Structure 1
Amino acid sequence: MGGNKKGNIEDLMKELALKGDDLYDVVFEESDAPAEEDLRWMILVRVHMDKGFSTYWFFRNMRTAWDLAREVKIKTLEENLFQMQFNCLGDSETVTQGGPWHFRGNPVIIAPYDGYSKSSSIELYKFDIWARIIDLPIAFHGKVKALASKIGEYVDSEPSSFDFEGNFFRVRVRLDVRNPLKKATSIIRGGEREIFAMKYERLLDWCQVCGFMGHEFKEHGDGVHPPSARDTI
């Protein structure tokens, strides 16, 4: 982590044509730090959307979707990058632990913010979503974490129980919008492959031609594609 930060500083100095003696450092002491409550419950937000949108309607829609108990502070840092701060723990947990959130069918990507890091250094590409591994036999339930990791980062799963109705196993995964959605996962047993379809809950808009989120198939290329070129999930 330290090495990466050093590399970023060196890259920035090169980009700005700076030399070491061009800089006059200001020392930040811990006594200079803002009060803890001034930096708590903050997030950075980006909408994964290929086209422009109205920030007014974005803010209005998200306030409605989140149903917050207290007012949220919102600051536009740049186009499609926002800093938000909540005024109570409940609102912060509702937004950061709920979801997936979306605006006009496009993922709203959220990351915690500490108030010290450059906003440009924080990646906003991942979000959590519940998915169902369809028709997974009970003997394979011990492999759920490994199966989920093939479609994204494993976050959590719903415990297997005979009291649960439905021929699927629920897992929560963290998806990266830079990768196409995966529609299946598989197991090899005794040299034979078994394939299990994936169904995403509250799935956001995605392109059935390229598999990426951020646009629909009618916005891919000229938008004209035969049914055989389109996948379904």
Structure 2
Amino acid sequence: MASTVLTGGEAVVRALAAHGVTQAFGIPGTHNLEIYRHLAVYGVAHVTPRHERGAGYAADGYARVTGRPGVAITTTGPALLKIAAAVGQAYSDSVSLLVASPGMPLRHPRQSTGLLHEMRSRTEALRGVATFSHRVSTVEEIGAAVARAFTHFGSERPRPVHIEIPLDLLETAEPVGDVRIAAPAGPTHGEHAGTPEALAPALTRALAAPGPTVITVPEETTR
């Protein structure tokens, strides 16, 4: 397996690009600039809304229209909480949405010192509205965390996920291996209906029925 030295910020963008991400939404801030620095290099376009909540809803809309996971990038503290409303909506509507944000440095003391808009736990805050919220502990782990997100999008009921990267890891350069590519993501919000040919017999019977008709769909086709 090839090894490359990357900062955490570049590792995030490389993993996203490896999974086919070409569009992201978010607001640059002091703490996430190391992610933004690499977007253009990896061919990821970016849209900056007025508010992080708007970034979440824009990424949600992108996923609904394109059938590809939406990606949003926030900075720390209040910015992450602002996007929580959009994350909750994506969870309710079964939309594939990935939120990436910086977090407290790995070695920061547990005491409250006012650093990075301190919260008790960004990970726990997003865990309440996302399918999972994961805080990485090494640069190498970033690629695996992104792959986990895309594995979820492609194999389970599509719902939002959050990945937190400690601030010191974003700018730390460490050797990393090749990106593990997850299986291609499926439709993002319940578009698991069959082909027109497969549905035609049921539709014909429904139209010919003398009264209301109920069509049941196997659970595995609507996950």
Same fold (TM over 0.5): no
**Who wins on radius of gyration, i.e. which is larger?**
1
Give the TM-score normalised by the residue count of structure 1. Answer: 0.26
Q: RCO (CA 8 Å, sep 6+): is it higher in 1 or 2?
A: 2
Bigger helix fraction: 2
TM-score, with normalisation over the residues of structure 2? 0.27
Please identify which structure carries the higher strand content: 1
